A and B are shown apart, each in its own frame.
Chain A
Amino acid sequence: AQSVTQLGSHVSVSEGALVLLRCNYSSSVPPYLFWYVQYPNQGLQLLLKYTSAATLVKGINGFEAEFKKSETSFHLTKPSAHMSDAAEYFCAVSKPGGNEKLTFGTGTRLTIIP
């Protein structure tokens, strides 16, 4: 079975400050890992994905994440927060392959303080 744990259901950062959203995974096989963003009343948009290539993954909107096998972590970071980053963020895990289901974490709501 696979699972992800997102530490912190709510995170607040000041505009221009570092954004750090935490995700730890559990998987019996080498996983694929994803970060999705959800704006109010919308679906999910992929920010970035790890599929066993480079461990440092760069995504859209200036976000990046680093896969650390020893820590079973895949934390999401952005050097400088923008007001438009306010949203719900979900970490997800799947088995390797192109057709596997996603298992999501419970989400982290990011608030940006002006």
Chain B
Amino acid sequence: DAGVTQSPTHLIKTRGQQVTLRCSPISGHKSVSWYQQVLGQGPQFIFQYYEKEERGRGNFPDRFSARQFPNYSSELNVNALLLGDSALYLCASRSPNTEAFFGQGTRLTVV
């Protein structure tokens, strides 16, 4: 079975631009979470979606938004990019009886 897949793997954007990151969960997993990992720090929770509904939101500005599609894949959108948004963005999927499985991440660089 394929693991959690994220695209793209690397991305360079300019300040003020908008970016969309994509995540495909493990087959059968209905929950997707997004985390931001700034260099040298632990991952920080951004969003959780379960069955296409938002179930949790971390302490991030409204520039960050997400959604989950009927096939349980997910997108994370970040508007008006700032230099401080440069980070590794991790997606994790899980089913109620399993731990979270993480993708390889998308490395976003804002210049």
Contact = CB atoms under 8 A, between A and B. Distances in A.
B7 interface: no
Nearest to B6: A43
Contacts, number: 57
Interface stretch (B13-21, B39-47, B73-81): B39-47
B60 to A, nearest CB: 13
Contacts of B1: none
A103 B102 contact: no
B105 A43 contact: yes
A105 interface: yes
A14 interface: no
A67 interface: no
Given A43-B105, A46-B99, A101 B44 contact: no
Interface in B73-111: 90, 92, 94-105, 107
Interface residues of B, number: 30
Contacts of B97: 98
A107 B94 contact: no
B94 A106 contact: no
B48 A104 contact: no
Contacts of B42: 90, 92, 104-107
Interface string A63-97: 00000000000000000000000000010100001
Contacts of A46: 99-101
Q: Which of B43, B44, B48 has the most A CB atoms < 10 Å from its CB? A: B43
B90 A44 contact: yes
Interface string B61-79: 0000000000000000000
A103 B94 contact: no
B45 A106 contact: no
B104 A43 contact: yes
A99 interface: yes
Q: Which 10 pairs between the two chains have the least Cβ-Cβ distance?
A: A98-B96, A104-B42, A43-B102, A44-B102, A43-B104, A101-B45, A104-B43, A106-B42, A43-B105, A107-B42
